[in-house]
């Protein structure tokens, strides 16, 4: 078994790297372990050219993007350690995420790999959407996210605390083969997210990014699931939500394939009407 740890922070021996190495060290000696730092890769921003569509086309940007994807394909399980930056995901991870259009239809090359995510953040209350965004990156890469570990640690080395390191070692065990199927693990992860917090979170993906309407309906802005506040809702009683799992689910193979097909139709429409679009844009050149 080969486990790949991906560290996004440029800090050597920073909190992200500490957590990643602690997880790797907790795995059996028989496991082939490798750590890579995104700072060592030259990955450029997406050009929105859609040259990577339809499925099977390679990205035309000549950088280290394919080399990174090859590292993931060679692994059996993945650790992602990435800090919160300004309420969101780390810059290098965002660059990668924007390039994942090319792998939406490549589930056969990535799915089945278990993934755990460690997310250090500096200030309580400033996690923002960093956790949701980082987990979304893993899921858009077709990885089966089986555990998420937010860690309050700002200064380099602050993650070296007995409780945090113990949690890191514990979550690493989820990467090892289990009798539970990947689908059941992913489903149970969403349930654990929903039941282990006092906050109401999405019952489908575990996200805390929920929009509540005045009519009592709820919508997850991350996975698109919708639901409603469960009845009866009386003063002093606990609030619960009933969720409807969308079909296809955004992070499922079918859901990502459907999104890729939608982008292909957008590309085809542009090709068919490119002269009209050119004329519309001409005054703004």
Model confidence over 201-234: pLDDT tens digits? Answer: 888 888 888 999 988 899 999 999 999 988 765 5
pTM: 0.87
* pLDDT, tens digit (0-9, with 9 covering 90-100), for 64-94: 999 999 999 999 999 999 999 988 899 999 9
Distance CA 245, CA 253 (A): 15
For residue 116, what pLDDT band results from cuts at 50, 70 and 90?
very high
User: Residue range 228-253: average pLDDT?
Assistant: 80
For the chain, the helix, strand and coil percentages under 3-state DSSP, each to the nearest 5? 40, 20, 45
Going by C-alpha positions, the residue among 148, 155, 113 that lies closest to residue 131 is: 148
Backbone φ and ψ of 157, nearest 5°: 100, -10
Task: Give the strand order in the sheet containing 226-229.
Answer: 210-212, 217-220, 226-229, 241-244
Q: Please, how many CA atoms are within 13 Å of residue 232, restricted to the half-sphere of its CB?
A: 4
- For residue 98, pLDDT over 90 is answered with yes
* Cα–Cα distance list, 9 to 20, 24, 85, 245, 282 (Å): 11, 17, 10, 34, 41
Q: What is the pLDDT of residue 229?
A: 87
| Residue in this structure with the two tokens 């956790």, named with its chain if needed | 131
Are 241 and 200 a contacting pair, CB within 8 Å?
yes
Other CB atoms within 10 Å distance of the CB of residue 214: 5
Q: What is the pLDDT of residue 83?
A: 93
Distance CA 138, CA 115 (A): 8
DSSP strand pairing (144-152 vs 210-212): unpaired
Going by C-alpha positions, the residue among 188, 228, 215, 181 that lies closest to residue 204 is: 188
User: Which residues, in sequence order, are CB contacts of 108 under 8 Å at separation 6+?
Assistant: none
User: Residue range 155-180: average pLDDT?
Assistant: 84
Per DSSP, the three-state class of 243 is strand
CA angle 26, 29, 31 (to 5 degrees): 90
Q: Which residue segments constitute the domains of the chain, with CATH numbers given?
A: 2-178 (3.40.50.360)
């Amino acid at each position: 078994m080969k486990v790949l740890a991906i560290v996004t922070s440029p800090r050597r021996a920073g909190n992200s790297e500490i957590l990643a190495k602690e997880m790797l060290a907790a795995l059996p000696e028989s496991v082939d372990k490798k750590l890579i730092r995104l700072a060592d890769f030259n990955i450029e921003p997406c050009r929105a050219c859609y040259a990577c569509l339809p499925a099977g086309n390679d990205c035309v940007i000549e950088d280290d993007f394919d080399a990174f994807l090859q590292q993931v394909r060679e692994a059996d399980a993945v650790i992602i350690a990435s800090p919160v930056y300004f309420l969101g995901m780390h810059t290098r991870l965002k660059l990668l995420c924007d390039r994942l259009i090319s792998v939406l239809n490549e589930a056969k090359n990535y799915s089945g790999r278990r993934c755990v995510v460690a997310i250090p953040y500096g200030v309580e209350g400033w996690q923002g959407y960093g956790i949701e965004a980082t987990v979304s990156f893993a899921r858009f890469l077709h990885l089966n996210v089986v555990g998420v570990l937010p860690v309050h640690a700002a200064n380099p080395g602050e993650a070296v605390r007995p409780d945090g390191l113990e949690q890191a070692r514990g979550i690493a065990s989820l990467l090892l083969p289990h009798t539970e199927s990947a689908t059941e693990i992913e489903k149970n992860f969403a349930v654990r997210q929903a039941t282990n917090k006092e906050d109401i979170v999405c019952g489908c993906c575990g996200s805390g990014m929920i929009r509540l309407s005045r009519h009592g309906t709820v919508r997850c802005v991350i996975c698109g699931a919708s639901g409603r506040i469960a009845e009866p809702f009386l003063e002093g009683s606990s609030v619960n939500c009933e969720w409807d799992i969308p079909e296809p689910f955004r992070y499922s193979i079918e859901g990502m394939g459907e999104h890729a097909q939608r982008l292909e139709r957008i590309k085809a429409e542009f090709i068919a009407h490119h002269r009209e679009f050119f004329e519309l844009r001409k005054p703004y050149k």
